[in-house]
Structure 1
Amino acid sequence: MTRIRSRLLATSGGAIALVVSCALPAAAHVTVVPQEAEQGSYTTLTFRVPNERDDARTVKLEIVIPQEQPLTSVRVKPHPGWSYQLEKVKLDQPVEAHGSQVTEVVRKITWTAGANAGIGATEFEEFQISIGRLPTAERMVFKALQTYDSGEVVRWIEEAAPGATTEPEHPAPVLKLVPKADETPEPTAEVAAKDDDPALILSVAALLLGAGGLAAGISARRR
């Protein structure tokens, strides 16, 4: 009887845990895809924006480009039903791009929903940009602001502490940057010298001559 009661308690406890876990909302926040790109390259990024409110629509998204990592090229893919605006900033020190000096770069991109647009409950949208050249750094942190038609603004701007095993409550989208893959290296001077070693060439020639003499001797004996 005790065993049966224990089994019933364990079963009911598991069922309660399952119901509670299903009732909890899944964690959702603004993210960037892909999450990794090569340093010094041009790439296309997609910012994925889920709506987290049942009684409000997302009507604006702001993506801030790190000012300490200026990008000389920023292009925005038009999004149906939404307009966008680029906010620029002047650089303290010009940077070179394609043979010319760039003195002004994009600091922030703002998408605003039209009259019949917006992200409703249980929905998400994806906003794309093309950027470059990516800096020589370990990562880029794009702070994001999500505005609802209720007036609420959710600031996805927090960075995880070094070594942290859990992410903050409102994490910012992070793009990891990796070094470019090295091309196949050319042979070094040392390897080339070994390949052209006179002693090696003479040894090969002697082997070929010896093989030829052996073949001639065998042929003569057969005759």
Structure 2
Amino acid sequence: MALTDRDNSDTPPETSGVDYGVRHVAIIMDGNGRWATNKGWPRLAGHRRGAERIKQIVRAAPEMGVQYLTVYAFSTENWKRSTEEVLGLMGIFARYIEKEADELSALGVRMRFIGGRGRLDSKLSRLMSGIEERTAVNTRLNLTVAINYGGRNEIARAAAQLARDYAAGLLTEDQLDEAAFEARLDTAGLPDPDLVIRTSGETRTSNFLAWQAAYSEYEFTETLWPDFTPEQLAEMLARFGRRDRRFGGAK
């Protein structure tokens, strides 16, 4: 199905070259299905448009000083959706990886995935591992995609691994601290997000980065993800820069 109102994703945003001082942005990309339904199109058409939007934001983010971009693509709860939608989403993920591998490498993007992979299709899992290896040396932007991810599930898995390591004698009781726990999270080695954005008007965090976003700032917008633009991202980054972040300390 042709999406006749698609914008030109290759057009550079007017905000290029402005560093807003935000190192890590995480996005709950909500509203793809509603965007398509509002137009009388199948929900998967919205997910395809959402994938195109990721490409535009990935190109724009480094020009705004963003070094890490983490996007919520598929949650552990999304398996409750129809079989048709789930299979369609998995196909979109696989095609995105296959189609964008060369461009991501050329743009200097390092791509990695968080979430449990045991339930994913073996082909998709191989593609994910392949692009992680291929882009591992890139440093311009660290793009992390959360697939079959849930914050509580991640915490439970990390806690179980910590317990196994302690039982195996790899850790002493004195080493059972936050640093040891964080080292066993899917995001080990990544900084916590400075800013978490959710599109589509919902104001839930939806089990996204439950540990990592403890002190993140949040932005919520009515805009559905397929309509979210680099200019809107720039506005949010600018607002972030005006916030007084005390991390629990007195002013």
Q: TM-score scaled to structure 2, two decimals?
A: 0.27
Higher strand residue share: 1
Q: Which structure carries more helix by proportion?
A: 2
Q: Please report the TM-score for the alignment, with normalisation by the length of structure 1.
A: 0.29
